Amino acid sequence: MRRGSIASLLGLGIVAGGIAAAVALALPWLPKPASNEAGRIDFLFWFVIVICIVVFAIVAAVLAYSILRFRADPDDDSDGPSIHGHTGLEIWWTLIPTILVTSIGIVSAIVLARDDALGKNVLRVNVTAQQFAWSFSYPASKGLTSGTLRLPRGRSVELVLTSKDVIHSFWVSEFSQKQDTVPGMTTTLHITPNRLGTFPVICTELCGLGHAVMRTEAIVMTPAAFDKWASSQAKAVTSPNAGVAGAAVFKNNQCGACHTLTAAGASATTGPDLDKLPTLAQKAGKPLPDFVRQSIADPNAYIEPGFPKNVMPQTFGKSLSTQQLDALVQYLISSSKKG
Ligand code: CUA
Protein backbone atom coordinates (compact mmCIF):
# COMPACT_ATOMS: atom_id res chain seq x y z
CA MET A 1 0.00 0.00 0.00
CA ARG A 2 1.31 3.42 -0.89
CA ARG A 3 1.93 6.06 1.74
CA GLY A 4 -0.56 8.36 -0.01
CA SER A 5 -3.37 5.76 0.33
CA ILE A 6 -2.75 5.36 4.05
CA ALA A 7 -2.82 9.13 4.53
CA SER A 8 -6.14 9.41 2.59
CA LEU A 9 -7.70 6.54 4.58
CA LEU A 10 -6.56 8.12 7.84
CA GLY A 11 -7.95 11.52 6.81
CA LEU A 12 -11.32 10.06 5.80
CA GLY A 13 -11.44 8.07 9.07
CA ILE A 14 -10.75 11.16 11.17
CA VAL A 15 -13.48 13.13 9.36
CA ALA A 16 -16.08 10.31 9.72
CA GLY A 17 -15.13 9.64 13.35
CA GLY A 18 -15.17 13.37 14.14
CA ILE A 19 -18.69 13.81 12.73
CA ALA A 20 -19.98 10.77 14.66
CA ALA A 21 -18.29 11.95 17.87
CA ALA A 22 -19.74 15.46 17.46
CA VAL A 23 -23.27 14.03 17.10
CA ALA A 24 -22.71 11.80 20.16
CA LEU A 25 -21.37 14.62 22.33
CA ALA A 26 -23.38 17.65 21.20
CA LEU A 27 -26.87 16.23 21.78
CA PRO A 28 -28.12 15.64 25.34
CA TRP A 29 -28.97 11.95 24.90
CA LEU A 30 -29.15 11.10 28.59
CA PRO A 31 -30.18 13.01 31.72
CA LYS A 32 -27.48 13.82 34.29
CA PRO A 33 -27.25 10.72 36.50
CA ALA A 34 -28.49 11.07 40.09
CA SER A 35 -27.50 7.66 41.46
CA ASN A 36 -24.39 5.47 41.57
CA GLU A 37 -26.24 2.86 39.49
CA ALA A 38 -27.12 5.41 36.80
CA GLY A 39 -23.47 6.53 36.68
CA ARG A 40 -22.33 2.98 35.94
CA ILE A 41 -25.01 2.56 33.26
CA ASP A 42 -23.85 5.83 31.69
CA PHE A 43 -20.26 4.54 31.67
CA LEU A 44 -21.38 1.36 29.92
CA PHE A 45 -23.34 3.42 27.38
CA TRP A 46 -20.29 5.54 26.52
CA PHE A 47 -18.03 2.47 26.45
CA VAL A 48 -20.24 1.01 23.71
CA ILE A 49 -20.61 4.36 21.89
CA VAL A 50 -16.82 4.85 21.68
CA ILE A 51 -16.41 1.36 20.16
CA CYS A 52 -19.21 2.12 17.70
CA ILE A 53 -17.62 5.43 16.64
CA VAL A 54 -14.23 3.78 16.01
CA VAL A 55 -15.80 0.94 13.97
CA PHE A 56 -17.94 3.44 12.05
CA ALA A 57 -14.90 5.61 11.26
CA ILE A 58 -12.92 2.65 9.87
CA VAL A 59 -15.81 1.30 7.76
CA ALA A 60 -16.77 4.77 6.46
CA ALA A 61 -13.13 5.56 5.56
CA VAL A 62 -12.60 2.30 3.64
CA LEU A 63 -15.97 2.68 1.89
CA ALA A 64 -15.38 6.31 0.90
CA TYR A 65 -11.81 5.58 -0.23
CA SER A 66 -12.96 2.62 -2.38
CA ILE A 67 -15.72 4.68 -4.00
CA LEU A 68 -13.35 7.55 -4.81
CA ARG A 69 -10.25 5.54 -5.78
CA PHE A 70 -11.60 2.42 -7.53
CA ARG A 71 -14.58 3.83 -9.37
CA ALA A 72 -15.07 2.17 -12.78
CA ASP A 73 -15.67 4.18 -15.95
CA PRO A 74 -19.40 4.56 -16.80
CA ASP A 75 -19.05 2.34 -19.89
CA ASP A 76 -16.83 -0.30 -18.24
CA ASP A 77 -19.04 -3.44 -18.03
CA SER A 78 -16.22 -5.93 -17.41
CA ASP A 79 -16.05 -8.04 -14.22
CA GLY A 80 -13.56 -7.18 -11.52
CA PRO A 81 -10.75 -9.64 -10.60
CA SER A 82 -12.10 -12.69 -8.72
CA ILE A 83 -10.76 -13.16 -5.20
CA HIS A 84 -10.79 -16.53 -3.39
CA GLY A 85 -10.57 -15.80 0.29
CA HIS A 86 -7.84 -14.12 2.30
CA THR A 87 -6.97 -16.11 5.44
CA GLY A 88 -5.15 -13.25 7.17
CA LEU A 89 -8.06 -10.84 6.64
CA GLU A 90 -10.60 -13.45 7.79
CA ILE A 91 -8.71 -14.10 11.01
CA TRP A 92 -8.65 -10.36 11.82
CA TRP A 93 -12.27 -9.66 11.02
CA THR A 94 -13.29 -12.57 13.24
CA LEU A 95 -10.85 -11.81 16.04
CA ILE A 96 -11.53 -8.06 16.42
CA PRO A 97 -15.36 -8.30 16.69
CA THR A 98 -14.98 -11.27 19.08
CA ILE A 99 -12.76 -9.21 21.37
CA LEU A 100 -15.07 -6.17 21.20
CA VAL A 101 -18.31 -8.06 21.82
CA THR A 102 -16.74 -10.12 24.62
CA SER A 103 -15.43 -6.98 26.32
CA ILE A 104 -18.89 -5.34 26.12
CA GLY A 105 -20.34 -8.52 27.65
CA ILE A 106 -17.81 -8.51 30.50
CA VAL A 107 -18.26 -4.79 31.30
CA SER A 108 -22.09 -5.22 31.18
CA ALA A 109 -21.94 -8.18 33.58
CA ILE A 110 -19.81 -6.16 36.04
CA VAL A 111 -22.18 -3.15 35.85
CA LEU A 112 -25.27 -5.38 36.33
CA ALA A 113 -23.72 -7.20 39.30
CA ARG A 114 -22.61 -3.99 41.00
CA ASP A 115 -25.93 -2.21 40.35
CA ASP A 116 -27.79 -5.17 41.81
CA ALA A 117 -25.67 -5.34 44.98
CA LEU A 118 -27.01 -3.68 48.14
CA GLY A 119 -24.77 -1.58 50.36
CA LYS A 120 -24.75 -1.47 54.15
CA ASN A 121 -27.53 0.11 56.25
CA VAL A 122 -30.17 -0.43 53.53
CA LEU A 123 -33.28 1.76 53.54
CA ARG A 124 -36.26 -0.29 52.47
CA VAL A 125 -39.17 1.48 50.79
CA ASN A 126 -42.35 -0.36 49.79
CA VAL A 127 -43.69 0.99 46.52
CA THR A 128 -47.34 0.39 45.70
CA ALA A 129 -48.68 1.14 42.25
CA GLN A 130 -52.38 1.39 41.50
CA GLN A 131 -54.52 3.01 38.82
CA PHE A 132 -53.32 5.84 38.76
CA ALA A 133 -51.09 6.72 41.67
CA TRP A 134 -47.88 5.76 43.41
CA SER A 135 -47.52 5.39 47.15
CA PHE A 136 -44.38 4.81 49.14
CA SER A 137 -44.21 3.44 52.65
CA TYR A 138 -41.24 3.31 54.99
CA PRO A 139 -41.37 0.24 57.27
CA ALA A 140 -38.49 1.66 59.35
CA SER A 141 -40.61 4.76 60.13
CA LYS A 142 -43.56 2.83 61.57
CA GLY A 143 -45.46 2.54 58.32
CA LEU A 144 -45.10 6.18 57.29
CA THR A 145 -46.76 6.48 53.87
CA SER A 146 -46.06 9.18 51.32
CA GLY A 147 -47.19 10.02 47.80
CA THR A 148 -43.72 11.32 46.96
CA LEU A 149 -40.60 9.19 47.11
CA ARG A 150 -38.21 10.87 49.52
CA LEU A 151 -34.72 9.41 49.71
CA PRO A 152 -31.59 10.31 51.65
CA ARG A 153 -28.51 10.97 49.53
CA GLY A 154 -25.73 8.39 49.71
CA ARG A 155 -27.80 5.60 51.27
CA SER A 156 -28.39 2.24 49.63
CA VAL A 157 -32.14 2.00 48.95
CA GLU A 158 -34.13 -1.12 48.17
CA LEU A 159 -37.47 -0.44 46.52
CA VAL A 160 -39.87 -3.36 46.94
CA LEU A 161 -42.57 -2.94 44.32
CA THR A 162 -46.08 -4.34 44.11
CA SER A 163 -49.23 -3.49 42.20
CA LYS A 164 -52.82 -3.47 43.42
CA ASP A 165 -54.39 -3.89 39.99
CA VAL A 166 -52.59 -4.04 36.63
CA ILE A 167 -48.96 -3.92 35.46
CA HIS A 168 -47.29 -0.54 35.93
CA SER A 169 -43.64 0.35 35.55
CA PHE A 170 -41.54 2.52 37.87
CA TRP A 171 -39.10 4.87 36.18
CA VAL A 172 -37.02 7.84 37.24
CA SER A 173 -34.90 8.75 34.23
CA GLU A 174 -32.12 10.28 36.41
CA PHE A 175 -31.85 6.89 38.18
CA SER A 176 -31.66 5.17 34.73
CA GLN A 177 -33.39 1.96 35.77
CA LYS A 178 -36.96 0.78 35.18
CA GLN A 179 -38.84 -1.90 37.06
CA ASP A 180 -42.30 -3.33 36.41
CA THR A 181 -44.84 -3.67 39.19
CA VAL A 182 -46.85 -6.83 38.65
CA PRO A 183 -49.99 -7.83 40.57
CA GLY A 184 -49.31 -10.93 42.68
CA MET A 185 -45.55 -10.51 42.40
CA THR A 186 -42.87 -8.59 44.28
CA THR A 187 -40.09 -6.96 42.29
CA THR A 188 -37.13 -4.98 43.58
CA LEU A 189 -34.93 -2.13 42.43
CA HIS A 190 -31.73 -0.86 44.06
CA ILE A 191 -30.88 2.83 44.05
CA THR A 192 -28.08 4.75 45.73
CA PRO A 193 -29.00 8.42 45.16
CA ASN A 194 -25.93 10.65 44.91
CA ARG A 195 -27.35 14.02 43.83
CA LEU A 196 -29.81 16.29 45.66
CA GLY A 197 -32.86 17.31 43.67
CA THR A 198 -36.42 16.60 42.62
CA PHE A 199 -36.90 14.14 39.78
CA PRO A 200 -40.11 12.96 38.07
CA VAL A 201 -41.37 9.43 38.80
CA ILE A 202 -43.11 8.21 35.68
CA CYS A 203 -45.27 5.16 34.97
CA THR A 204 -43.95 3.66 31.73
CA GLU A 205 -46.47 0.86 31.20
CA LEU A 206 -49.77 1.77 29.54
CA CYS A 207 -52.08 0.97 32.45
CA GLY A 208 -55.39 2.60 31.63
CA LEU A 209 -57.14 5.93 31.15
CA GLY A 210 -55.05 7.81 33.70
CA HIS A 211 -51.65 6.38 32.65
CA ALA A 212 -50.41 9.77 31.49
CA VAL A 213 -51.12 11.37 34.88
CA MET A 214 -49.60 8.52 36.92
CA ARG A 215 -46.67 10.63 38.00
CA THR A 216 -45.11 11.84 41.19
CA GLU A 217 -41.73 13.02 42.38
CA ALA A 218 -38.58 11.47 43.79
CA ILE A 219 -36.94 13.94 46.15
CA VAL A 220 -33.33 13.28 47.14
CA MET A 221 -32.54 15.02 50.43
CA THR A 222 -29.55 15.23 52.74
CA PRO A 223 -29.68 12.41 55.34
CA ALA A 224 -30.36 14.97 58.11
CA ALA A 225 -33.27 16.57 56.19
CA PHE A 226 -34.65 13.11 55.42
CA ASP A 227 -34.61 12.06 59.09
CA LYS A 228 -36.29 15.32 60.05
CA TRP A 229 -39.00 14.83 57.41
CA ALA A 230 -39.62 11.19 58.41
CA SER A 231 -40.08 12.04 62.10
CA SER A 232 -42.19 15.16 61.45
CA GLN A 233 -44.49 13.27 59.05
CA ALA A 234 -44.95 10.40 61.47
CA LYS A 235 -45.91 12.97 64.11
CA ALA A 236 -48.25 14.97 61.84
CA VAL A 237 -50.31 11.91 60.88
CA THR A 238 -51.07 11.14 64.52
CA SER A 239 -51.45 14.80 65.54
CA PRO A 240 -54.69 15.70 67.36
CA ASN A 241 -54.76 18.91 65.30
CA ALA A 242 -56.91 17.84 62.35
CA GLY A 243 -55.77 20.72 60.14
CA VAL A 244 -52.12 19.69 60.33
CA ALA A 245 -52.92 15.98 60.01
CA GLY A 246 -55.33 16.56 57.10
CA ALA A 247 -52.83 18.74 55.27
CA ALA A 248 -50.21 16.00 55.70
CA VAL A 249 -52.56 13.33 54.32
CA PHE A 250 -53.41 15.62 51.38
CA LYS A 251 -49.73 16.21 50.64
CA ASN A 252 -48.54 12.63 51.19
CA ASN A 253 -51.19 11.18 48.91
CA GLN A 254 -50.43 13.64 46.12
CA CYS A 255 -54.01 14.96 45.97
CA GLY A 256 -52.53 18.21 44.69
CA ALA A 257 -51.14 16.45 41.61
CA CYS A 258 -54.66 16.31 40.14
CA HIS A 259 -56.74 18.84 42.13
CA THR A 260 -56.77 22.53 42.87
CA LEU A 261 -56.86 23.50 46.55
CA THR A 262 -55.69 27.04 47.27
CA ALA A 263 -55.01 26.30 50.94
CA ALA A 264 -52.54 23.57 49.94
CA GLY A 265 -50.98 25.62 47.14
CA ALA A 266 -52.31 23.08 44.62
CA SER A 267 -53.52 24.21 41.20
CA ALA A 268 -53.86 21.06 39.06
CA THR A 269 -56.94 20.60 36.89
CA THR A 270 -57.08 16.87 36.12
CA GLY A 271 -59.78 16.43 38.77
CA PRO A 272 -62.50 18.77 40.08
CA ASP A 273 -61.54 22.01 41.87
CA LEU A 274 -61.60 21.26 45.62
CA ASP A 275 -62.00 24.95 46.47
CA LYS A 276 -65.54 24.51 45.11
CA LEU A 277 -66.49 21.44 47.19
CA PRO A 278 -69.64 23.03 48.68
CA THR A 279 -70.99 23.76 45.18
CA LEU A 280 -70.11 20.24 43.99
CA ALA A 281 -71.87 18.69 47.01
CA GLN A 282 -74.96 20.75 46.26
CA LYS A 283 -74.97 19.54 42.64
CA ALA A 284 -74.57 15.94 43.84
CA GLY A 285 -77.43 16.52 46.30
CA LYS A 286 -75.50 15.36 49.38
CA PRO A 287 -74.46 16.89 52.69
CA LEU A 288 -70.91 18.23 52.36
CA PRO A 289 -69.12 15.87 54.83
CA ASP A 290 -70.82 12.77 53.38
CA PHE A 291 -70.08 13.95 49.85
CA VAL A 292 -66.39 14.56 50.56
CA ARG A 293 -65.95 11.23 52.36
CA GLN A 294 -67.74 9.29 49.61
CA SER A 295 -65.78 11.05 46.86
CA ILE A 296 -62.51 9.93 48.46
CA ALA A 297 -63.50 6.36 49.35
CA ASP A 298 -65.73 5.63 46.35
CA PRO A 299 -64.87 8.22 43.68
CA ASN A 300 -67.08 6.71 40.97
CA ALA A 301 -70.24 7.18 43.07
CA TYR A 302 -70.57 10.72 41.74
CA ILE A 303 -68.65 12.03 38.74
CA GLU A 304 -68.68 15.77 38.22
CA PRO A 305 -69.81 16.43 34.59
CA GLY A 306 -66.83 17.11 32.33
CA PHE A 307 -64.44 14.88 34.30
CA PRO A 308 -63.53 11.29 33.35
CA LYS A 309 -64.54 8.24 35.33
CA ASN A 310 -61.95 5.80 36.78
CA VAL A 311 -59.08 8.29 36.91
CA MET A 312 -59.17 8.96 40.66
CA PRO A 313 -57.66 5.96 42.52
CA GLN A 314 -60.43 3.88 44.08
CA THR A 315 -58.31 2.52 46.88
CA PHE A 316 -58.04 5.45 49.30
CA GLY A 317 -60.99 4.02 51.25
CA LYS A 318 -58.75 1.07 52.10
CA SER A 319 -55.28 2.60 52.12
CA LEU A 320 -56.15 5.48 54.47
CA SER A 321 -56.84 4.73 58.12
CA THR A 322 -60.14 5.99 59.58
CA GLN A 323 -58.10 8.60 61.43
CA GLN A 324 -56.40 9.78 58.24
CA LEU A 325 -59.71 9.84 56.32
CA ASP A 326 -61.40 11.86 59.11
CA ALA A 327 -58.53 14.34 59.14
CA LEU A 328 -58.56 14.68 55.35
CA VAL A 329 -62.34 15.22 55.18
CA GLN A 330 -62.17 17.86 57.90
CA TYR A 331 -59.22 19.55 56.25
CA LEU A 332 -60.94 19.68 52.84
CA ILE A 333 -64.17 21.06 54.28
CA SER A 334 -62.43 23.81 56.23
CA SER A 335 -60.09 24.67 53.34
CA SER A 336 -62.78 24.79 50.67
CA LYS A 337 -64.94 27.20 52.68
CA LYS A 338 -62.01 29.56 52.89
CA GLY A 339 -61.21 29.12 49.18
CU1 CUA B 1 -49.51 3.06 35.69
CU2 CUA B 1 -49.15 3.60 33.43
Q: Ligand 1 pocket, 161 CB below 6 A?
A: no
Q: Ligand 1 pocket, 168 CB below 6 A?
A: yes
Among the atoms of ligand 1, which is closest to the Cα of residue 205? 2
Q: Ligand 1 centre and the CA of 322: distance in Å?
A: 27
Encode pLDDT of 260-272 as tens digits: 988 888 888 888 9
Q: Ligand 1 pocket, 9 CB below 6 A?
A: no
Q: What is the DSSP string of 270-318?
A: SS--GGGHHHHHHHHTS-HHHHHHHHHHSGGGS--TTS-TT-S-S-HHH
Q: Ligand 1 centre and the CA of 178: distance in Å?
A: 13
Task: Output DSSP code: residue 257.
Answer: G
User: What pLDDT, on a 0 to 100 scale, did the predictor assign at position 166?
Assistant: 93
Q: Cα(148)–Cα(145) distance, rounded to whole angstroms?
A: 9
Among the atoms of ligand 1, which is closest to the Cα of residue 129? 1
Burial status of residue 21 (CB atoms within 10 A of its CB: 0-12, 13-18, 19 or more): middle
Nearest residue (by CA) to ligand 1, atom 1, is 168
Among the atoms of ligand 1, which is closest to the Cα of residue 132? 1
As a whole number, mean pLDDT of residues 33-46 equals 95
User: What pLDDT, on a 0 to 100 scale, did the predictor assign at position 236?
Assistant: 60
Please report, rounded to a whole number, the percentage of residues in the chain having pLDDT higher than 70: 96
Q: Ligand 1 pocket, 203 CB below 6 A?
A: yes
As a whole number, mean pLDDT of residues 118-132 equals 90
- In whole numbers, what is the pLDDT of the chain averaged over residues? 88
User: Rounded to the nearest 10 degrees, how much is the dihedral formed by the CA atoms of 6, 9, 15, 19?
Assistant: -140
Asked if the model's pLDDT at residue 181 lies above 80, the reply is: yes
Q: Ligand 1 centre and the CA of 167: distance in Å?
A: 7
Residue from 212, 126, 129, 127 nearest 166 by CA:
129
User: What pLDDT, on a 0 to 100 scale, did the predictor assign at position 339?
Assistant: 43
Q: Ligand 1 centre and the CA of 208: distance in Å?
A: 7
Q: Ligand 1 pocket, 134 CB below 6 A?
A: no
What's this model's pTM, rounded to 2 decimal places?
0.68
168-171 β-sheet, strand order: 149-152, 215-221, 197-203, 168-171, 178-181
Q: Ligand 1 centre and the CA of 168: distance in Å?
A: 5
pLDDT class of 239 with cuts at 50, 70, 90? low
Q: Ligand 1 pocket, 164 CB below 6 A?
A: no
Encode pLDDT of 133-157 as tens digits: 898 989 887 768 888 899 999 999 9
Q: Ligand 1 centre and the CA of 181: distance in Å?
A: 10
How many C-beta atoms surround the C-beta of residue 169 within 10 A?
Answer: 20
pLDDT class of 329 with cuts at 50, 70, 90? confident
Find which of 50-64, 268-282, 295-309 is predicted with most confidence, using mean pLDDT: 50-64
Residue from 177, 119, 179, 202 nearest 153 by CA:
119
Encode pLDDT of 198-216 as tens digits: 999 999 999 988 898 889 8
Please report, rounded to a whole number, the percentage of residues in the chain having pLDDT higher than 90: 47
Among the atoms of ligand 1, which is closest to the Cα of residue 168? 1
Give, in degrees to the nearest 5, the angle at Cα 208 between 204 and 213: 60
Among the atoms of ligand 1, which is closest to the Cα of residue 207? 2
Q: Ligand 1 pocket, 275 CB below 6 A?
A: no
Q: Ligand 1 pocket, 236 CB below 6 A?
A: no
Q: Ligand 1 pocket, 311 CB below 6 A?
A: no
CA 142 to centroid of chain Cα atoms: 27
Q: Ligand 1 pocket, 211 CB below 6 A?
A: yes
